[in-house]
Amino acid sequence: MKETKKTYWKGLEQLSNDPEFVKNADREFPELPSMISEDGNASRRDFLKMMGFSLAAASLAACEAPVRKAIPYVNKPVDINPSIPNYYASTFASGGDYASIVVKTREGRPIKIDGNKLSPINNGKVNAIVEASVLSLYDKERLTGPYLAGEKTDWASLDAEVKSKVAAAGNIKIVSNTVLSPSTLKALNLFSESIGGAEVIMYDPLSNYGIAKASESMYGQAVVPSYSFDKAKTIVSFGADFLGTWISPIEFAGQYAKTRKISKERPEMSRHYQFESNLSLTGANADYRSPIKASQSGLAVLALYNMLARKAGAATVSAPAVEVANLEKAANDLWASRGASLVVSGSNDPNVQTVIHAINELLGNNGATVDFSTPVNFRKGDDAKMNQFITDLNAGRVGAVIFHNCNPVYDHPRGAELAEGISKARFSLATNMTMDETASLVGALAPDHHFLEAWNDFEPKPGHYSLSQPTISPLFDTRQAQESLLVWAGETTNYYDFLRNNWETGLYTQVATLDSFQTFWDKSLYNGVLALEREGIPFAPIGDVTEAATAVARTYSADNSGAELIVYPKVAIGNGTFANNPWLQETPDPITKATWDNYLTVSQKWASDNGVTMIEENTRKASVTINGKKITVPILIQPGQAEGTFGLAVGYGRTKAGRVANGVGVNAYELLDASAGFVNFDITSGVTVEVTGDSYKIARTQTHQTFMARENVIQEATLSEYKQDASAGRYKPEIYKEGEFIKPSKISLWKGHQYSQHHWGLAIDMNSCIGCSACSVACQVENNVAVVGKEEVLNRREMAWIRIDRYYSSDAAADDLSGLEKASENPEVTFQPMMCQQCNNAPCETVCPVAATTHSSEGLNQMTYNRCIGTRYCANNCPYKVRRFNWFKYHDNTQFAGVNVAQNDDLGKMVLNPDVTVRVRGVMEKCSMCVQRIQAGKLEAKREKRKVKDGDINVACATACPTDALVFGDMNDPESRVSKLLKIEENSTSALKEVNEERAYHVLEEINVSPNVWYFTKIRNKDKNEA
Amino acid sequence: MQVTSSVREPLVTGGKSYHDVTHDVSRQVEGKPSLSWFLAFLTAAGVLGLGSIALIATLWEGIGMWGLNKTIGWAWDITNFVWWVGIGHAGTLISAVLLLFRQKWRTSINRAAEAMTIFAVICAAMFPVIHMGRPWLGAYWALPLPNTFGSLWVNFNSPLLWDVFAISTYFSVSLVFWYIGLIPDFATIRDRATGLRKTIYGALSFGWDGAAKTWMRYESVSLILAGLATPLVLSVHTIVSFDFATSVIPGWHTTIFPPYFVAGAIFSGFAMVLTLMIITRKVFKLEDYITMGHIELMNIVIIITGSIVGIAYITEFFIAWYSGVAAEQYAFINRATGPYWWAYWSMMTCNVISPQLFWFKKIRTSIVATFILSLVVNIGMWFERFVIIVTSLHRDYLPSSWAMFYPTWADIGVYLFTFGLFFTLFFLFAKFFPVINMAEVKSVLKSSSEKAAK
C-alpha cells in the first residue's frame, strides 16, 4: 500500500504550533484539571484515589440519610439544658388524697414524680397512684377547650354564658371532692359572694364521714384526727386498710414501717391485729388476722370496748356476745401498751367510730397516737349534705350546679339519680379534665388544667402547707378552675397573683422571718412545703359512748346468716378517678395479683360448696343481686375471705373514662347505700350470690398462691425466736465436699469477679415490705416498661421488671406436695419483691450465644438490647424468672395503642424517659438496677471531682418505697447504708462479700448464682409459729 | 473375600441379578411419576403451603404468635428442633457406623436413611433461626464472623453456639457423604439415559468413569467420611443435650443427658427410617431389597435404644431422689403427677413400654405392627422433648412464676410446615434420585443371590 503523506490538522492552533495547544495536545479534555500531577509520578495513585472517591461518593449518594431535625433554641431558657433534668417541688391532690411531690422534667416535659423528702406527711414517699399520675397529663382524651351545650366554644363566650346564667338560676350548688387548698376555698368564696351565695358541697368517693361525724358527737368538732402509727406498740384495726387506701396510706405506711424494722440492736416491733372480712393489704401484713363478718364488726368493737372498760374499771355498755378470735388477746396487748397503742376502724358508720374514739380515750391514746388537735383535711366530705343535694336536685330545687373536678355520677351511690337530676337544674357546669360520666351530662364545660400545669396551694393539716407549680405550659386550651372562678367572680387578677397575694397577706405575716416576701415565696416554692408551729386545738370528750353503743348493738348482729358484700378500693385503682391510666390498670392488685378487672372475692369454703374452682386464670361468673340491683362479675377465690362475705372493688365499670378503662369491670358504687346518712361500704343484708354458667378469665400475674414450703425462697421466724437467735428461720444449705459440709458459695467453677470501684447491691427487708406496688409503678415510669394489656397478661407476658411475689401459707405438711398447693383458710401472707438479682455467677450470661448479656465491672448484669437476637435462653436459665421478652412490637403498633399509650401516641410518648431505650420487638429486657441513674450519679461526682457518696444514686423502686424496705448502695463503700445494714466486712473488692447480718439471705442460695440482692427474713410478732 | 453361607439369610431376595438391581431402582427415576406419587407429593406441598401461613405470621408479627410466656421461653419450637435432630441421627448411623462395622445389611437402606437425615436436619435447623426474636440479625450474628461492630464476638461459653457448630458440621458431612454415595448411581442412570436427562445426571455424576482407580478412591473417601461422621453421630445430640444439661433449671441440669439423648435420637431415627422404608418398599415395589430381615434388624436396634432410654428415665428419677436436692425432686414428681402428667405418661407408654413388644418375633416381623409402633415411638419421642422442656420450665424454683403453656395455631402451623417441607423434599428425592444404593447393593449381591454368585 502506498504510504500517504497527507496530514490532517486538528485546527489552526496545531498548524501554527501554538504553545498553549502544544501543552495540552495529549489531553482529551484540556479544560478539566489534570489527574496527573506535575511530576507525573503519582498518576496511578491519583487514579485509585479518584476511583475510590467516586465509588464512595456514588455509594453514599445511594444511601438515603434519615432526616433528623435538631432545632436549637433561639434563646435558651435559663434553666433548661438538654439532657439535664430539672426538679420542681409540687403537690398531688385528688379526691381527698394528698402527697407532696418532686417532679422531674426533661427538656420541659414532666416525666417522673417522686416524693418530696421535706414533707413531714409523706416523707419523700409516694404510692402507685401518685407515681402514675404523670401519665394522665399526656392523655389525648383530655378536653382540649371549653364546651357549651356540647359544642366547642371559646373562653370568652363561656364566661359570658356563665356570668349571665348562673346568678339568674338561683340556688347555686358547687359540688367538689375535699378541697385542701386555702386559696381555692377563698376563690370559691369570692365566686359565691359574687353571685349572691352558693353552697359548696364536698363529698369523697371513699368517704371517711363516719369518723368526722363521730368526732363531732364525741368532741364537738367534725374532724378526722391525725394518727401516729409509729408511736404504737399495739395496733388493732377493724377493717381499716391503712397501709393501702385508708385516709393517708403513704404517711401511715411510713409510720407503720418504723415499728416493723427490727435489728439486733432493737429487737422490738409493734404487734398488729386485724379484724376484717376481705383480705386487705393491711390485713396481709398483720401479725394476727381474724376474718370476721362485716355484720359482726360493730359488736366486735363493742366487745373490745367492754374488755378494756373492765380493765380500766369504767362502765361497760350492753352488747350482744360475739365470738371473735384473738379479740381477748388484742385487748390484753392494748391494755399492756396503753398510751402507746392504736385502734382504728374502716367503718363509715359514725356510731362504730364513736366507740373507736371511746376505746382510744380509754387507752389514753388521744394525744399520743391519735391527735385531734392536728386533724387532717384530706377527707372532709359530708355524706349527709351530698345526699340532701341529690334529693334537692332531683326535686328540681337546684337552680345551677357546678361540678368542680369531681365525678359523682360515677362515684356516688346515687349517681344514676344524679345523672337524671342534672338536666333539671337550669344551669350546669363542670371543670372536669375529661368528658367523664358527669362532664358528659352538663351544659357547660370549663376544663381545668392538669395539676402539673397549674398553680395551687394546699393545707393537708393545720399548719402544714404545700404548693404546686406548673412544670409544663398547658398542653391544651384549658384554664385553671380557680382562675375560672375568679373570672366569673369578676376578679381581674390571675390565680397566680391571687395565690401569691394570699400567702403575702396570710402566711407570710404568720412566720417569724426576716426574709422579704419574695425570698420567703421562693423558698417555699423551692421546698414545696411549709410547716408552721401551730397551737393545738384543745379537745376534751363531751359526748358519751352509751348512745352510740346502743345503736351499734341494734344495727349489728353476731349471727347473720345471709351473704354480705364488702365494697373496697384497690391499692392501684383507688376510687377510680385514674382508672384510665394503663399503668395502674396493669399494676397487679397486691393481694389477688389480678389486673384489668374487678371481681367478686369469695372464700375457699364457699367456692368448694358451690363447685367453683379456679385453675390458672379460668374462673366462672357469679350474678350478685343486692336489693333488686343485679350485676354479673367473675369470681376470684380469696384465701382469708371471711366466710359468708364477698368483696368487690370500686373504681371499675367506668363508661366514659376513656379508651383504657371503659368497659373494664363493673361499677360497685351503684350497689352502695347512702340512705342511713352516710355511704355504707358494707352491705350486710339483701345480698344473694349465684354462680352462673359463664366462664371467664381473670388476668393474674401470679397464679400459684403458696410457696410450697420452700425455705430457700421464703425464710421467716417469729419475734420470740428472733430474740433468742438472730438467725432464726434462716435456711442454711450446705454441700458435702471431701468429708465436710460447706457453704455453697465455697464451691464454684468461676474465678470470681473483682470490683475495684463500686459494687452495687440491694438489701430488701421482707419485714417492712408491705406489698403496696409503688416500686413496680415507679420502675415502669422510670424504665419505659411497656403495658401489654389484658390479653397479653392472660398469656402471662406482662413486662414488669420488678414484681412483688405474694405467697400464702398452707396448712399441709412439708412433704404433702399437692396439699401445699392449697392456701390456708386464713393464711399468713409474705411479700417478696423480685427483680433481677444481678448475680455474680449469672446463669443468663453464660448461655447467651451472642454475649448480649454481660457482667459489668461494678457487679451489674447488663443487657445490651442492640445485640440481643432473642433466643430467650437467658430467661429460661434464670432461676428467678425476672427476664422479660418483647413478644411483639409494643410501641408504634395499633394492636397495643389502646393500652400502651405511653409508647404509641405522640402525646403519650412525651412521658418516656429519654435516658432509657424503648425496646424493640424480639429482644430481652430486665431490671438494670437503673443503670442510667448510676451513670448520671457517677458523672455528676466526676464533674465535681469527688467520689460518689452514698445517697447520690438511688434506684427508682427504692426511691418510691414508702416503707424503705429496699435499700440500694455501694457494697464496696463501708459507709453506705447497704453495707451497714448487711454488716459487710470492710476492704473487700471481691464479688463475694462476707455478710455478717444474720437475717440476710440469698434466695436460692444453694445454687450459688451469688446474687447482689439480699433479703432479710420475715419476722412475725406472734407468740408461737401458727398460721 | 465374600463367603456365601447357605445358613445365612440372603440380604437381597428374589434371586436378583446385577441387571435386575439396576433396572428395579432406575425405573423409578426414569419412568413417569405415578398417580400415587403425585397425590402424595401434592399433599406434602399442600401442608407446606398451609404451614407457611403460620411461619409467615410468626416472622411478621413476632414470637408472640406462639403460646410462649415469661416462664416458658421455649416449648414447641425447641421440642420440634430436638425431635427433628433426633430423627436425623439414623441416616449417618446406618451409613457410617454400620459401614465401619461392615454390616452389609445396611446397603439397601442407607441411601434413603441418609436422605431422611439431611431433610430432618434441614427441618431442625430451621427452628433455632425462626425461634429467635430477631432472626434477621440472629441468623448471622450467631456465627463467629469478623464484623465491624467493634470487638463483638460470639460467646463461646454458650451451648447454643456449640449447637450452631454441631448442627452445621453434621449437616455438611452428612450431605457430602450422601452425595459421594450417589455419584456411581447417578452415573448408572446417566449411562441408561438420553437427551436432557443424560446431561443433568451427567453433571450430577461428576464425570464418573467407573474405572478401578475411581472405585478405589470412592471406597477410600467413603471410609474416611464414615470415620469423620461416626463421632458426629454421638456429638450432635450430646451437644444438643448440653443446651439443657449445662443450665441451672431442675429437670434440665442433669449429667445423664448426653448418652440419654444420643440413645433417644437413634431410637427415634430408626423409627422414622422404618416408617419411611415401609412406605417406600411398598410404593416402589422394593420388597426384595428391603427385606423382612432389614425390618427385623432395625426393630432390634429399637428395642435396645428404647431400653436404654427407659433406663435413663428411671435413672433420672433415682438420682433426683438420691441427690437430696429438693428442687430436682419436685421437678420429677411434678413430671409424673403435675399438670402435665399426661405428657409424661404418653412418653413413658410410647417410649418404654411399646418397643418392648418387639421382643415377640411375631410383632417384630409384622409389617403392620412395625409401622404402627414406629409411629408410636416418634410420638413418644416428641413427648419426651416436650416433657423435658416444658414441664421443667413451667414449675421451676419460684412458685410465683409457675405457669402453663398452651400452644396456639401458629405453634401447630409451624410444626406442620416442617412436616410439609420434610415430605416434599423426601418425595422429590424418591422420584428423582435412586432410593437404593445400587452400587453397594450389587456388592452384597454375590453373597446373597445365587444368580449373581454364578
The reply to whether A262 falls in a domain is yes
Same domain assignment for residues A865 and A737 = yes
Cα–Cα distance measured from residue A465 to residue A528, given in angstroms and rounded to the nearest whole number: 8
Long-range CB contact pairs, A288-291, < 8 A, 24+: A288/A326, A288/A329, A288/A330, A288/A1022, A289/A640, A289/A826, A290/A324, A290/A325, A290/A326, A290/A327, A290/A826, A291/A603, A291/A640, A291/A641, A291/A642, A291/A643, A291/A645, A291/A826
Cα–Cα distance measured from residue A339 to residue A231, given in angstroms and rounded to the nearest whole number: 9
Cα–Cα distance measured from residue A870 to residue B134, given in angstroms and rounded to the nearest whole number: 6
A219: cell is 368532741
Instruction: Give whole-number Cα distances, B20 to A79, A902, B104, B433, in Å.
Output: 95, 75, 19, 17
Which of B143, B398, B408 to mutate against chain A (most A CBs within 10 Å)? B398
Same domain assignment for residues A649 and A769 = no
Which of A731, A872, A1005 to mutate against chain B (most B CBs within 10 Å)? A872
- Residue of chain B nearest A882, judged by CA positions: B70
B331: cell is 421437678
Average pLDDT of chain B is 87
- Which candidate from B61, B69, B131 shows the least CB-CB separation from A888? B61
Q: State the Cα torsion B112-B115-B121-B126 to the nearest 10°.
A: -120
3-state DSSP assignment of residue A54? helix
- Give the largest Cα separation in chain A, rounded: 151
pLDDT tens digits along B367-401: 899 999 999 999 999 999 999 999 999 999 999 99
Contact A922 B134 (CB under 8 A): yes
By DSSP bridging, strand A735-737 and strand A740-742 are: antiparallel
3-state DSSP assignment of residue A4? coil
**Which amino acid type is present at position A787?**
V
Its ipTM equals: 0.91
Number of domains in chain A: 4
Helices (H), A898-930: none
Pair B255, B115: CB distance under 8 Å = no
Contact B71 A848 (CB under 8 A): no
- Is the CB of residue A889 less than 8 Å away from at least one CB of chain B? yes
Nearest chain A CA: its distance from B47 CA (Å): 26
Instruction: Give whole-number Cα distances, A931 to A926, A955, B310, in Å.
Output: 11, 8, 49
CA B173 to chain centre: 14
Cα–Cα distance measured from residue B340 to residue A493, given in angstroms and rounded to the nearest whole number: 72
Q: What is the mean pLDDT of residues B145-157?
A: 82
Contacts of A551 (CB under 8 A, 6+ apart): A351
Pair A545, A317: CB distance under 8 Å = yes
Provide the edge-to-edge strand list for the sheet that holds A529-531: A456-461, A464-468, A529-531
Cα–Cα distance measured from residue B143 to residue B153, given in angstroms and rounded to the nearest whole number: 9
Q: Give the CATH number for residue A605.
A: 2.40.40.20
3-state DSSP assignment of residue A224? strand
Same domain assignment for residues A598 and A744 = no
Cα–Cα distance measured from residue A510 to residue A528, given in angstroms and rounded to the nearest whole number: 18
- Is the CB of residue A849 less than 8 Å away from at least one CB of chain B? yes
3-state DSSP assignment of residue A282? helix
Contacts of A960 (CB under 8 A, 6+ apart): A114, A115, A125, A126, A131, A774, A775, A777, A778
Q: What is the pLDDT of residue B94?
A: 77
Q: Does the pLDDT value for residue B156 go beyond 70? A: yes
Pair A621, A682: CB distance under 8 Å = no
| ∠ CA B398-A619-A705, rounded to 5° | 20
Q: What is the pLDDT of residue B421?
A: 95
- Which candidate from B133, B333, B337 shows the least CB-CB separation from A886? B133
Pair A471, A441: CB distance under 8 Å = no
The helix (run of H) or strand (run of E) holding residue B365 is none
Q: What is the pLDDT of residue B1?
A: 38
Contact A851 B154 (CB under 8 A): yes
Pair B209, B184: CB distance under 8 Å = no
Q: Give the CATH number for residue A840.
A: 3.30.70.20
- Which candidate from A616, A848, A923 shows the least CB-CB separation from B133? A923
Same domain assignment for residues A929 and A801 = yes
Same domain assignment for residues A915 and A859 = yes
- Residue of chain B nearest A879, judged by CA positions: B397
Residue in A867, A912, A862 with CA at minimum distance from that of residue A890: A912
DSSP A372-417: EEEEE-TT---HHHHHHHHHHHHTT--SEEEEES--HHHHSTTHHH
Q: Span B18-453: which CATH code? A: 1.20.1630.10
- Residue of chain A nearest B403, judged by CA positions: A703
Nearest chain A CA: its distance from B57 CA (Å): 12
Cα–Cα distance measured from residue A428 to residue B152, given in angstroms and rounded to the nearest whole number: 67
Count interface pairs A-B at CB distance under 8 A: 174
Same domain assignment for residues A648 and A758 = no
- Is the CB of residue A876 less than 8 Å away from at least one CB of chain B? yes
Cα–Cα distance measured from residue A948 to residue B384, given in angstroms and rounded to the nearest whole number: 54
| Residue numbers of A between 690 and 729 with CB closer than 8 Å to B | 702-704, 706-708, 710, 712-713
Q: Name the residue range of residue A654's domain.
A: 561-700
Cα–Cα distance measured from residue A608 to residue A822, given in angstroms and rounded to the nearest whole number: 12
Residue in A555, A588, A551 with CA at minimum distance from that of residue A573: A588
pTM assigned to the model: 0.89
Contact B62 A924 (CB under 8 A): no
Is the C-alpha dihedral spanning A620, A625, A630, A631 positive or negative?
negative
Same domain assignment for residues A842 and A959 = yes
CA A586 to chain centre: 11
Residue in B117, B137, B139 with CA at minimum distance from that of residue B128: B139
3-state DSSP assignment of residue A670? helix
Cα–Cα distance measured from residue A178 to residue A126, given in angstroms and rounded to the nearest whole number: 20
Nearest chain B CA: its distance from A879 CA (Å): 6
- CB burial of A333-347 (b: ≥16 within 10 Å; e: otherwise) equals bbbebbebbbbbbbb
The reply to whether A230 falls in a domain is yes
Q: Does the pLDDT value for residue B429 go beyond 50? A: yes
Average pLDDT for consecutive 10-residue bins of chain A (1027 residues)? 67 76 68 57 75 80 68 79 89 85 91 91 89 91 90 90 83 89 90 86 88 88 89 92 90 92 90 93 93 90 90 85 89 90 90 90 88 86 88 87 91 89 88 91 91 90 89 91 89 89 86 83 90 78 83 87 91 90 93 92 92 88 90 93 92 90 90 85 89 91 91 91 90 89 88 89 93 93 94 93 93 86 91 94 92 92 92 94 94 91 91 93 94 94 93 92 93 91 82 88 91 94 72
| Residue numbers of A between 607 and 646 with CB closer than 8 Å to B | 616
Same domain assignment for residues A734 and A882 = yes
Tell me the chain A residues in contact with residue B325 when contact means C-beta distances shorter than 8 Å: 1006
pLDDT tens digits along B94-140: 778 777 777 777 777 788 888 888 999 999 999 999 999 999 998 88
Cα–Cα distance measured from residue A843 to residue A566, given in angstroms and rounded to the nearest whole number: 46
Q: What is the pLDDT of residue A831?
A: 94
Contact A886 B62 (CB under 8 A): yes
Q: Does the pLDDT value for residue B68 go beyond 90? A: yes
Same domain assignment for residues A772 and A879 = yes
Q: What is the pLDDT of residue A41?
A: 60
Q: What is the pLDDT of residue A879?
A: 94
Which of B82, B153, B156, B248 to mutate against chain A (most A CBs within 10 Å)? B248
Q: What is the pLDDT of residue A603?
A: 93
| ∠ CA B268-B271-B275, rounded to 5° | 140
Same domain assignment for residues A273 and A307 = yes
Helices (H), A852-928: 873-876, 894-897
